[in-house]
Amino acid sequence: MPEEKTFHMSLEEFRKNGYAVIDWIADYYNNIESFPVLSQVKPGQVRASLPDEPPVKGEAFDAILKDINELILPGVTHWQSPNFFAFFPANASGPSILGELLSSALGVQGMLWMTSPACTELETQVLDWLVDILGLPEKFRSGGAGGGVIQDTASSATLCALLAARERATDYKTNSCGCDGRLIVYASTQAHSSIEKAVKIAGIGSENLRLIDVDDKFALRPDALVEQIKKDRQAGLAPCFVHATVGTTSSNAMDPLPEIGRICKEEGLWLHVDGAMSGTAAVCPEYRFIHNGLELADSYCFNPHKWMFTNFDCDCFYVADRAALIKTLSILPEYLRNKATESGAVIDYRDWHIPLGRRFRSLKLWFVIRYYGVEGLRFHIKRHVDLARNFAKWIEESENFGLVVPPPLNLVCFRHKGGDSINRQLVEKLNRSGKLYLTHTTLNGQYTIRFSVGQTHTEEHHVRQAWQRIQETAGELENA
């Protein structure tokens, strides 16, 4: 009798194809600088290259891998290129890629401690290690009332913090009765847009989000916050949540946490601190100043998937009082009941975030921390900040360009002195060249170029070359 076709990839084939994929990845990283950093495809081009119909018959793995090169790579923007200076980085590293691979292989669902104890316990341990690594307040450690959890993104962390704050402010009644439209949330005009999304999702409403004015360094003004809270109370509203940022998206501004924290304590407001980008800087003791005042916060998050060499997605979210978060999000249907949960001796992370299911994300972070060690992480973070500071010095010394604001860490905001139009053309032309990728923002109503240093393999010569290209391209535009 002929053997029945299984359609599966046999283990022998898996081994062979797996080696081919690892080779592909190593070659990709080796050649990454030969690709245009920003994908140059036109809208619809990638899709048009794909068959209209799905394959009825399975295909050879070689053919699939070949299409990665031919069909997919042209439509990829190379975030792992050392010439990527756009947005904020979403960096990765060898250990994180391999950790991710193992996580996919294990394919566990860590919703409950019981569904894979190692998934929960490794996560708890790694998040406690990070309290040491970043010098975070002790209250975020899992041994006390607080603790940390890995979320997919900082947006989710903000939403979870806001939901817990909403419940704490309404004695856990909003969960059952809905919002009454009185709760008010505060953030600076420079806060990430995820806070606006969070207030919409949480049912608080975007009209109840107050965007507070900033100072000349784009940091939230505590006096303006106090004034707004007062106005809202006088209007019979219920202030409940302040979202402060260390390292804003536009300019890396640092909101003054000690003053904001004091106001939150006096007013009884939940303080959430968003360190999505810049939190990682605190691996270096010399940059820990960014977290001064964090001991006054109720919750905090930062993204290893931005700057800690851990591929997307991985956000570390900490709360000072885990009971508030769990009480807000906990659901226990019959089919999830188990003895370990009932014993109260374990953490069930399903109660710490929005989805039920959860991946084994701590593996990749654990791999990164163990492989680099704190020493290796510090080495690279300091190097990135030094590279950005050198770049800023060149800008300051140049006749045609100027800094818009002094760079606190690894993001440099600058402008050509010729006005918005030349700056806009400069960014477009540089990005079209494929040699580097930069993005922009608006600061003080002016088009501003952002130069963000944080890609894993960016070295001094990449930054030097970028500056050279920026100057040359500006020269061409000036003479056009």
The contact set with ligand PLP (CB under 6 A) reads 88, 153-155, 192, 194, 245, 247-249, 274, 276-277, 303, 315
Contact 93, 304 (CB under 8 A): no
- Please state the φ and ψ torsions of residue 350, each to the nearest 5 degrees: -60, -25
The 3 state secondary structure assigned to 60-115 is CHHHHHHHHHHHHHHHCCCCCCCCECCCCCCCCCHHHHHHHHHHHHHCCCCCCCCC
Q: What does the alpha-carbon distance between residue 357 and residue 286 come to, in Å, rounded to a whole number?
A: 38
Q: CB of 88: closest distance to ligand PLP in angstroms?
A: 5
Q: CB of 196: closest distance to ligand PLP in angstroms?
A: 11
Q: Which is nearer to ligand PLP, 112 or 276 (CB)?
A: 276
Q: Which is nearer to ligand PLP, 110 or 247 (CB)?
A: 247
Q: CB of 476: closest distance to ligand PLP in angstroms?
A: 31
Indicate the burial class of 235 (C-beta count within 10 angstroms; 0-12, 13-18, 19 or more): exposed
Q: Which is nearer to ligand PLP, 136 or 346 (CB)?
A: 136
Q: What does the alpha-carbon distance between residue 161 and residue 466 come to, in Å, rounded to a whole number?
A: 39
Helices (H) and strands (E) in the chain, counts: 16, 11
Q: CB of 474: closest distance to ligand PLP in angstroms?
A: 27
Q: Which is nearer to ligand PLP, 80 or 303 (CB)?
A: 303
Q: Which is nearer to ligand PLP, 17 or 77 (CB)?
A: 77
Q: CB of 87: closest distance to ligand PLP in angstroms?
A: 6
Identity (one letter) of the amino acid at 84? F
Strands across the sheet containing 411-416: 401-405, 411-416, 446-452, 439-443
Return the sign of the alpha-carbon dihedral for residues 136, 188, 309, 318: positive
Contact 284, 256 (CB under 8 A): no
Q: Which is nearer to ligand PLP, 170 or 303 (CB)?
A: 303
Q: CB of 5: closest distance to ligand PLP in angstroms?
A: 43
Identity (one letter) of the amino acid at 303? N
Contact 119, 362 (CB under 8 A): yes
Q: CB of 282: closest distance to ligand PLP in angstroms?
A: 15
Q: Which is nearer to ligand PLP, 192 or 416 (CB)?
A: 192
